[in-house]
Amino acid sequence: MKDVIPVLVTYFIGAVMMIEFFFVAPWAISVSASIRSWTPVITAFAVIVGTVNLVLVHGKNISRKTVGWYRSIVLLASFLVTAVLGLTVGQGASSYMFIFDNILNTVGSTMFALCAFYIGSSAFRAFQARNLQATVLLVSGVLVMIGRVPIGEYISKHMPNIAQWIMDVPNTAGQRAMMIAMGIGFVSQCLRILVGYNRKHLGAVE
């Protein structure tokens, strides 16, 4: 029963969605619209579950003084301050924006900016023309990289056109092939889930 009901619910919802997409059936349109409108509510519940889990995990870290427990204090304190401010003064308030501008935005951008240094280092050590495939990848990557910035035009006026051609022709051809293959795979995977053949999402081990 524990497995059958979720499979039946999945099958029913999937069937309604497919009928709504492929056929003109007013009842299916109405039912699927209702189901879709539940999504934000269900996702909001996931936020509650996540919050409880976060507090429990880090609360345990602090009470048991596990390695790095003081980081859990920072996390819970930041979480509490941001949540209280957001709920009381609102997201447009200057105090809330202060946290966003000076902590979240800055830290987030810094983390992403670190990629530039890793790319710099790996460009030196890993992007090597070890075989034909690697050479093709390297040459096309370099042409696109340099053709997409103003210095490419400074080197040669043809660089942007070369970069654009690589993006438009070989890249798009490859992307299309992958998209079609992934699409077919996605459809077959969805059908397996709908008919209950694949039950990994219900915790089944296959």
Partner 1 sequence: MWWEKVLKVDPRIIYLVMILCIAIPLIKPLGLPLSIVETTKQAFEVVEALQPGSKVLMSFDYSPGGAAELDPIARALVMHFLQKNLRVYAVTSVAEGTMYAQKNMAIYADAGKIYGEDFVVLGYFAGGENAVAALSENLRSVFKSDIHGSPIDQIDMMQEVKSVRDMDLVVSVNVGPGGAATADVWVRQVAVVYRDVPVILGMTAVMTPNCMPYLQSKQIKGLLGGLRPAAEYELLLQQPGPAVAMMDAQSAAHLTILIFIVLGNIAYFATKSKDK
Minimum CB–partner distance for residue 113 and partner 1 (Å): 7
Please state, in angstroms and rounded to a whole number, the distance separating the CA atoms of residues 192 and 56.
36
Query: What are the counts of helices (DSSP H) followed by strands (DSSP E) for the chain?
Result: 9, 0
Ordered DSSP codes for 185-198 = HHHHHHHHHHTTS-
Residue 12 or residue 70: which is nearer to partner 1 going by CB? 12
Residue 66 or residue 135: which is nearer to partner 1 going by CB? 135
Minimum CB–partner distance for residue 69 and partner 1 (Å): 27
Ordered DSSP codes for 157-170 = TTHHHHHHHHIIII
Please state, in angstroms and rounded to a whole number, the distance separating the CA atoms of residues 22 and 31.
15
Contact 203, 187 (CB under 8 A): no
Minimum CB–partner distance for residue 183 and partner 1 (Å): 10
Minimum CB–partner distance for residue 63 and partner 1 (Å): 29
Residue 129 or residue 204: which is nearer to partner 1 going by CB? 129
Residue 25 or residue 73: which is nearer to partner 1 going by CB? 25
Residue 32 or residue 61: which is nearer to partner 1 going by CB? 32
Residue 81 identity (one-letter amino acid): V
- Please state, in angstroms and as integers, the Cα–Cα distance from residue 70 to each residue in 48, 54, 60, 111, 138, following that order: 24, 15, 12, 21, 45
User: Footprint of partner 1 on this chain (CB under 8 A)?
Assistant: 33, 36-37, 39-40, 42-44, 46-47, 90-92, 97, 100, 104-109, 111-113, 116-117, 119-121, 123-130, 138, 142, 145-146, 148-154, 160, 164, 167-168, 171-172, 175-176, 179
Minimum CB–partner distance for residue 161 and partner 1 (Å): 9
Q: Which residues contact 141 (CB under 8 A, 6 or more apart)?
A: 127
